[in-house]
Amino acid sequence: METTEPALNRLELEESWRSSLADREAVVQAMAARMRKVLEDSGLRPGVKARVKSFPSYFKKRIRLYQQARATGKPPIPLTDLLGVRFVCPFIGDLAKVEEELGRAFRVVEVERKGAERSFREFGYESIHLLIEIPKDLREEAPSLQSEVVEVQIRTILQEAWAEVEHELVYKAEFTPFDEPMRRKLAALNANLTLSDIIFQEIRDYQHQLSDELARRRGAFYRKIEQAIDLPFFSDVGPSTPVAPKADLDYLREYASSDDMLLAALAAHNRGDYLRAIDLYSRILAHDPRQEARVVILKHRAMAFFSESRYDESLEDFSKALELDPRCYKSAYYRGVIHSIRARYSDAIKDFDRALDIHPYHFYSLMRRAQAYFHLADYPRALADCEAAQSINPDDDHSRRLGELLRDRLADHA
C-alpha cells in the first residue's frame, strides 16, 4: 500500500527552510558553545564545527525519505540532522571521553556507531553519532526551529580526513568503484588511517605512562634529598655510608624496545627496586642511545644510585650528564647536593654557582647554596641567597625559617 503523503513542493520547502534559518543558526551555535564549555570544564578541547544543513542537501534527503515512505507505506522518517555539531579529537581515546561528558550534561536520544558493524577485514567511514535533545529554553527562543535534536558527530582527525575525502570521491560524486584494484586502493588508504590512529593512541598512552612514572620518580628523589640534607635548624648530616648492592639479580628478561625498558626501569625505580632500575638503565645505555637520551638515562641512573646511597657512582653519572649537556643545570644542582651530603660545602657551592649561572631563578639551588654557606659560617651570603629564594617563592616555610635563623646568627655576631 502506498503512502498518502502529498507530493513535495520545492518552492514551499525552500521558503519554509529560509524562514527558519536564523533560528536554526542561533540554536546550533548556542548548542556548540554549551557543549564546548562542558568539554573544556573536563579538560577536553577537541575541534568544534557547527552547521545548519544546506537547502540542497535538505531537499535531496527529503526526496530520499519520501521515496522510502512511498515504498513502505509508512510516514516519512523525520529529519534529525538539520542541525549538526562535530567534535574532532586528536586521539581515539578522546572519543569515549567526549561521548561520556556530553551524556552527563545533555539528554542523548540515540547513539549510532558508524562502522562498528564491520569485521576486522573491512574498512570505511567511522564516527560516533549522537542525537542530543535541544534544551527547552533554546527551543522556546526559536519558534520556527522545526527540530528537537542536534546531530553530534565525534571522530578523530584522521577519521575526519577520511570522511571528507570519501564524501568528495564517493558520496558527492555518486561513485562506487567496481574495479577491484580501485576498491583495494581505497580500502588500503582507510586501513592506513585506522592504523595511524591506533599508533598515535599507543604513543600518547606511552607518553602519559612515562610522565606519570617520571613525576613519581622525581617526588621520591626529592624526599630522599630532604632526608639526606636537612635544614640546619634540624640537624647536620655528614657523609653517608654506601649500602652494599644486593645479589642474585634473577629477574632479567628481554624487552621489546628501549622505550619498554625505560618504562620498566622507571616503574622499578618508583617502587623502590633501585637495583633493578640501575640494571635496566645500564642496559639502555649499553644500546648507545643518542646524546639527548643518554643524558636523560644517566640522570635517572644517578638518582637511583643516590637512592641506594651509592654517592660515588651517582656523582659520576651526574658528571657524565653534565659533560654531554653543559647547560643541564639540574645535573650541576644534583652534584652539588651530593657534595653537601658529604660535607664538601665549598665543592657544593661551586656546583650551585654553575646551576645558577645557567638558571638564575632556580629556587632549590639558591636554598642549597644558602645552606652550604651556613655550614661555612658565611652568614651574610647565606642570608642573601635565602632572601633571593624567598623572592621567588614567598610562601616557602623552609626559606622563611632559615632566614630567621640567619638573622639571629648575624645579630649574635654584631
Supply the pLDDT for residue 225: 60
> Containing domain of residue 248, as a range?
203-412
Say yes or no to pLDDT of 181 above 80: no
Residue where a domain stops, chosen among 141, 176, 211: 176
Judge whether 106 and 98 are in contact, CB under 8 Å. no
Supply the pLDDT for residue 250: 41
Tell me the C-alpha distance between 277 and 262, whole Å: 9
Whether 190 is covered by a domain: the verdict is: no
Whether 215 is covered by a domain: the verdict is: yes
> In the chain, what's the furthest Cα-to-Cα distance?
110
Query: Among 202-216, 328-342, 364-378, which stretch is predicted with the lowest mean pLDDT?
Result: 202-216
Whether 189 is covered by a domain: the verdict is: no
Same domain, 278 and 380: yes
Same domain, 260 and 162: no
Residues linked to residue 47 through DSSP beta bridges, in sequence order: 88
Whether 109 is covered by a domain: the verdict is: yes
Whether 193 is covered by a domain: the verdict is: no
Say yes or no to pLDDT of 163 above 70: yes
Same domain, 326 and 385: yes
Supply the pLDDT for residue 390: 92
Say yes or no to pLDDT of 193 above 80: no
pLDDT in tens, 239-261: 333 333 333 334 444 555 677 78
Say yes or no to pLDDT of 402 above 60: yes
Say yes or no to pLDDT of 156 above 70: yes
CATH number of the domain encompassing residue 268: 1.25.40.10
Same domain, 163 and 233: no
For 207-222, b/e burial (b = at least 16 CB within 10 A) is: eeeeeebbeebeebbe
Supply the pLDDT for residue 83: 93
Query: Among 229-233, 311-315, 408-412, which stretch is predicted with the lowest mean pLDDT?
Result: 229-233
Say yes or no to pLDDT of 76 above 80: no
Supply the pLDDT for residue 2: 43
Same domain, 336 and 372: yes
pLDDT tier at 237 (50, 70, 90 boundaries)?
A: very low
Same domain, 242 and 142: no
Query: Among 84-88, 122-126, 139-143, which stretch is predicted with the lowest mean pLDDT?
Result: 122-126
Supply the pLDDT for residue 246: 39
Same domain, 153 and 103: yes
Same domain, 23 and 140: yes
| CA–centroid distance for 327 within its chain | 27
Same domain, 157 and 211: no
Residue where a domain stops, chosen among 176, 191, 213: 176
Tell me the C-alpha distance between 345 and 369, whole Å: 9
Mean pLDDT (whole number) for 216-243: 49
Whether 82 is covered by a domain: the verdict is: yes
Mean pLDDT (whole number) for 119-143: 79
Residues linked to residue 84 through DSSP beta bridges, in sequence order: 51, 151
Same domain, 207 and 171: no
pLDDT tier at 233 (50, 70, 90 boundaries)?
A: very low
Averaged pLDDT score across all residues of the chain: 81
Whether 188 is covered by a domain: the verdict is: no
pLDDT tier at 150 (50, 70, 90 boundaries)?
A: very high
Query: Among 71-80, 99-108, 127-136, 352-361, which stretch is predicted with the lowest mean pLDDT?
Result: 71-80
Same domain, 219 and 335: yes
Tell which residue, 290, 293, 358, has the closest CA to residue 330. 358
Same domain, 67 and 213: no
pLDDT tier at 232 (50, 70, 90 boundaries)?
A: very low
Whether 182 is covered by a domain: the verdict is: no
Residue where a domain stops, chosen among 130, 157, 176: 176
CATH number of the domain encompassing residue 102: 3.30.460.10
pLDDT in tens, 15-43: 888 888 899 999 999 999 999 999 999 99
Look up the pTM and report it. Answer: 0.55
pLDDT > 90: percent of the chain: 39
Supply the pLDDT for residue 326: 94
Q: How many domains does the chain have?
A: 2
Mean pLDDT (whole number) for 192-196: 75
Supply the pLDDT for residue 133: 94
pLDDT tier at 75 (50, 70, 90 boundaries)?
A: confident
